[in-house]
Copies of this chain bind each other. A is one copy, B any other.
């Protein structure tokens, strides 16, 4: 029964801790967070103890760590875990700096430790089913991908300042979806963006609406459209067109109630935000991590996926800033 430590007792840390303790034979031993009260509360909830970074890495009973702390700690914790030979489950991104992320990936590879980067969308039932059906040949060879990715509302400006910008903070998931679904490498990236929903976003040098086009080495086309503010909620869809047809992966709704009145026929809005939409994805992701550890099978979203999505985010940022097509 492996003992596990979690770094980060915030919103996403709580999600991961809750999923972690449901894995058969897995024990949450330590919760580590600079916010002592948060660490204590989460530890208490799951019968764990409050730990320290040093303590975790020094404890040989800890076989795996879940990194759900702030982005600027990811690379360092990944490297320390690698050196300590502990399996790693780390929230995206690896780092906001591409070179730093590359070095980090090398450390992981050299250490030979299992490492999962939290691109949870690949574990979503709808998205995963679409991928399986593409692989089963249902639509033939994929030719074009259209990704729609819209948040219900922008985060606070304070968050945006440290976020690395919309391409690294928000679209990094979409870049991973692109790589996963088309299973091809980007040849060129074109990105543009605007501040349309809130001038405050522009005040910190960021944009809130974007359109990205990726041409792959095989000539396939991918287009991504995003906004930070969709009045109707969290809009997470993609569609893939192939020689034999199209697969559309749609939104999830809280219920299947339809109301017909004198005004209209209406259904539920999509599930509100990522914690709701990807609730099952987070659970599946954690289960996959511990199954892979137990069976020694490969992890689906490894550190290289983290690095390559970041590379696309950097290329998109450059394309937007410099108003040019970026070749990779």
Contact = CB atoms under 8 A, between A and B. Distances in A.
Interface of A: 125-126, 129-130, 133, 138-139, 143-144, 146, 148, 150, 188, 190, 192-197, 209-211, 213, 215, 219-223, 225, 227, 229-233, 235, 241-252, 254-270, 323-325
A192 B190 contact: yes
A260 B265 contact: no
Nearest to A131: B257
The 3 lowest CB-CB distance pairs between A and B, nearest first, are A245-B261, A232-B260, A266-B266
Contacts of A263: 266, 269
B261 A225 contact: no
Contacts of A129: 254-255, 257
Contact of A324 (B194, B210, B251, B325): B325
Contact of A125 (B138, B196, B222, B255): B255
A325 B195 CA distance: 20
10 contacts: A126-B256, A143-B209, A144-B227, A146-B148, A196-B220, A210-B221, A211-B213, A232-B262, A245-B261, A250-B256
- The interface centre, meaning the residue of A209, A220, A232, A325 with most chain B CB atoms within 10 A of its CB, is A232
Nearest to A210: B221
Contacts of A244: 231, 261-262
B262 A126 contact: no
Given A144-B209, A194-B219, A133 B225 contact: no
Contacts of A245: 230-232, 259-262
Given A138-B259, A231-B260, A265-B269, 10 more contacts: A190-B213, A193-B221, A194-B220, A211-B223, A231-B246, A244-B262, A246-B261, A252-B256, A264-B264, A264-B269
Contact of A269 (B130, B222, B260, B270): B260
Contact of A247 (B146, B221, B257): B257
A121 to B, nearest CB: 13
Given A150-B241, A190-B325, A220-B196, A231 B261 contact: yes
A323 B133 CA distance: 34
A263 B194 CA distance: 26
A133 to B, nearest CB: 7
A233 B213 CA distance: 24
Nearest to A194: B219
A265 B267 contact: yes
Nearest to A143: B196
Given A194-B215, A196-B219, A232-B265, A258 B254 contact: no
Contacts of A230: 241, 245-246, 260
A223 B125 CA distance: 28
A193 to B, nearest CB: 8
A129 to B, nearest CB: 4
B264 A268 contact: yes
A42 to B, nearest CB: 15
Contacts of A256: 126, 249-252
